[in-house]
Amino acid sequence: MSGQSTSLACPNTMFELLEYQKPARSQAEMVAVVDTGIDYTHPALGNNCVGKGCLVAFGTDLVGDAYNWINTPTRITRCCIVAAQPNPHGFTGAAPDVTLGAYHVFGCDGLASNDILISAFNKALEHGAQIISASIVGTRGWTEEPWTVAVSRIVEQGVPCAISVGNDDDHGLFYISTAANGKEVTAVASYDNILTPSVHFHAGYSVDGGRATDFLYVPRPPALQGYTVLVRRVICLFADKAVNQAAKGAKYMIVYNNVAGDFAPTLGDSASLMKGSGMVTPEIGASWVNSLKAGSNIDFVSFSKSQAVTRSYAVLSGTSMSCPITAAIIALVSQVRGTRDPQLILNLLSATANPQLSNDGKQFYSRFAPAAQQGGGMSFFNDADRRIRELSLTITDTGEEPATYRLGQVSSLAMYTLQKASVYPMAFPNEAADSYASLKFLQDSVTVAPGEHVVVDVVAIPPSGLDATRLALWSGYITVNGTDVSSLSMPYQGLSSSLRNSTVLASDQSWIFHSNYSKNYVKAPDNTTFLLPAAANDVLPAVYVGLALGSSQAKIDVVPMTTCPP
């Protein structure tokens, strides 16, 4: 966002977009967003204008019968806000001059299948989309997956595609969402905003009719009345809390924080289950818990209604938000550079990115975060079985004068993928190793003539003293500083272990269970007999496989216990 408000312009300031946001810089760029419906009545997104000549000009519905563009508008509206027009809040989007396309792929259950996603991307290509953005994640993560293949082929045709990598940090270092893992696809992670604006409503509470006490509260759904459930914020997602409370008949929920401060809890698709929700500080939550334990009654003095579901504004985070702003950046870069070559743009984004220090959610460290966490378009030195000892990078001088470039490198934290004495990955934050990789350049500096390029050879030197059984991932950044005042970087990473020799399936993590046990996966006793074909009320054998690491294929053989007649 940009405009009069410094706080609202914060994301664009972090991305250094403000100097590029000039009229016509992103004009004629057709950006397709694949997601839910879109609220084209929003004053920042067309103000009730849709179709040819409007901000939202093209797109289609692939899941609804009576599509009016607005059906289930929540997330795509948030994604398209990167094209926001001037509005009462004093900001515009990162690329306000693009033309938007909206492709509705989520049905009533909030899921999208591969065939729908592939169809949406193909239609966007057919409709002339020049950039495609999708804040959609899947858990498969293999380049051979159908949707990934389709997106990769579209990129091959010259259409940059930005896909969210997801927000999960509890599945280890080798976990990336589909189809962000596609070849030359722009995989988008996210950073925390350095300043998070919010809209507060006045509210207060009293205990047993005592003096009213004010507190800051940001309600989400409209209307707060009846009973309110007080829950502590821990690992469980806010959306899951809402589902759990609604399952018990609750319609009102207040979360008390487990760390300092408060903010607006985001319920996502679960918002419709609650009539009211919000958050208070740990201190207020603790005082309420103590009052309730003592048998006191807590009364709310006042609550204001939240803004309406449509035509509203919200402050949100995660890769669902960083992905569309990356698409906006691609639109701006393509206009400045005069090209939409996906590989070139990906290299430009990677080379001009600023690596950030590692943060485990509590503190910053003196080393950069691993390239696997924050890098993109990286030079990959592979694992111990197939490590490429030497790679090369190409430096091109696009200026009008010769330039000399000095090469260097900065090591990032090396991290272990697996837990100690275990075949299972660690959840974030992973354990860091006190050893770092380094690079050897065959040339420390090069001089490049205008319009020419020079190839520089690089040799990787892995860290020493690492526990190879734990899949130690090391990385860093090549630095390129030129006499033309350019300052660029390029991520690299490698693995001091063998993925091929790693345990993917533990010996005790596969068994047969009864199909009517739902998701309990209770192991069927040995020598259990299943009658096939099953009668109407009989159960079928189901197979549980608990993978420690990813596998592109799982094969299950049915072997007769006795010799069967022909």
Q: Which of 48-62, 77-91, 319-333, 380-394 has the lowest mean pLDDT?
A: 380-394
Residue 204 to residues 207, 258, 300, 437, Cα–Cα distance (Å): 11, 20, 6, 55
Tens of pLDDT, residue by residue over 502-544, are 899 999 999 998 887 565 788 999 888 888 776 776 778 889 9
**Which is more confidently placed, 11 or 315?**
315
Q: Are 77 and 42 spatial neighbours (Cβ–Cβ below 8 Å)?
A: yes
CA distance 130 to 154: 10
Distance of CA 233 to the CA centre of its chain: 22
DSSP state of 39: -
Residue 433 to residues 365, 372, 380, 415, 470, Cα–Cα distance (Å): 13, 15, 20, 6, 11
Q: Structural domains in the chain? A: 30-195+317-327 (3.40.50.200), 201-304 (3.50.30.30), 360-495 (2.60.40.2310), 503-565 (no CATH)
State percent of the chain over pLDDT 70.
76
| 471-484 mean pLDDT | 89
| 265-294 mean pLDDT | 81
pLDDT at 381: 44
- Please check the confidence at residue 90 and state whether its pLDDT lies above 60: yes
Instruction: Residue 495: count other Cβ atoms within 10 Å of its Cβ.
Output: 25
Q: How is 392-405 classified by DSSP, letter by letter?
A: EEEEE--SSS-EEE
| Best CA proximity match to 32, nearest among 114, 112, 113, 119 | 119
**Which is more confidently placed, 454 or 534?**
454
- Please check the confidence at residue 219 and state whether its pLDDT lies above 80: no
Q: Are 511 and 523 spatial neighbours (Cβ–Cβ below 8 Å)?
A: yes
Instruction: Residue 398: count other Cβ atoms within 10 Å of its Cβ.
Output: 12
- Please check the confidence at residue 363 and state whether its pLDDT lies above 90: no
Within 355-420, residue ranges assigned H as helices are 371-374
Q: Give the pLDDT band of residue 383 (cuts 50, 70, 90).
A: very low
pLDDT at 380: 40
Number of H helices, E strands in the chain: 9, 28
Tokens coding 151: 């997106």
Tens of pLDDT, residue by residue over 292-307, are 778 776 665 444 334 3
- Please check the confidence at residue 353 and state whether its pLDDT lies above 50: yes
- Please check the confidence at residue 193 and state whether its pLDDT lies above 90: no
**Which is more confidently placed, 455 or 427?**
455
State percent of the chain over pLDDT 90.
13
| 327-353 mean pLDDT | 84
Tokens coding 85: 């027009």
pLDDT at 116: 93
Residue 50 to residues 30, 77, 82, 102, Cα–Cα distance (Å): 14, 14, 17, 10
Strands (E), 181-325: 186-188, 201-207, 213-217, 229-232, 252-256, 276-280, 298-302
Is 445 buried (19+), middle (13-18) or exposed (0-12) by CB count in 10 A? middle
pLDDT at 405: 92
In terms of average pLDDT, the best of 147-156, 297-306, 331-340, 438-447 is 147-156
SS3 35: strand
CA distance 384 to 548: 20
| 107-130 mean pLDDT | 89
- Please check the confidence at residue 279 and state whether its pLDDT lies above 90: no
pLDDT at 243: 81
Tens of pLDDT, residue by residue over 30-41, are 999 998 777 777
CA distance 412 to 337: 31
pLDDT at 449: 93
CA distance 200 to 205: 16
- Please check the confidence at residue 485 and state whether its pLDDT lies above 80: yes
**For the range 438-445, what are the long-range contacts, defined as Cβ-Cβ under 8 Å and sequence gap of 24 or more?**
438/409, 438/411, 438/476, 439/409, 439/476, 439/478, 439/492, 441/407, 443/407, 444/406, 444/407, 445/404, 445/405, 445/406, 445/407
pTM, two decimals, is 0.68
Q: Which of 129-143, 185-199, 542-556 has the lowest mean pLDDT?
A: 185-199
- Please check the confidence at residue 43 and state whether its pLDDT lies above 90: no
In terms of average pLDDT, the best of 18-32, 117-131, 487-501 is 117-131
CA distance 209 to 414: 57
- Please check the confidence at residue 328 and state whether its pLDDT lies above 90: no
Instruction: Residue 562: count other Cβ atoms within 10 Å of its Cβ.
Output: 5
- Please check the confidence at residue 223 and state whether its pLDDT lies above 90: no
| 22-48 mean pLDDT | 73
In terms of average pLDDT, the best of 43-57, 165-179, 430-444 is 430-444
pLDDT at 147: 93
DSSP state of 470: G
- Please check the confidence at residue 122 and state whether its pLDDT lies above 90: yes
For the chain, the average pLDDT equals 77
- Please check the confidence at residue 149 and state whether its pLDDT lies above 90: yes
**Which is more confidently placed, 45 or 109?**
45
| 260-268 mean pLDDT | 75
Tens of pLDDT, residue by residue over 129-138, are 999 999 888 7
- Please check the confidence at residue 26 and state whether its pLDDT lies above 60: no
| 322-326 mean pLDDT | 85
Q: Which of 101-115, 241-255, 287-301, 392-406 has the lowest mean pLDDT?
A: 287-301
Instruction: Residue 182: count other Cβ atoms within 10 Å of its Cβ.
Output: 23
pLDDT at 298: 64
pLDDT at 128: 94
DSSP state of 385: T
pLDDT at 95: 78
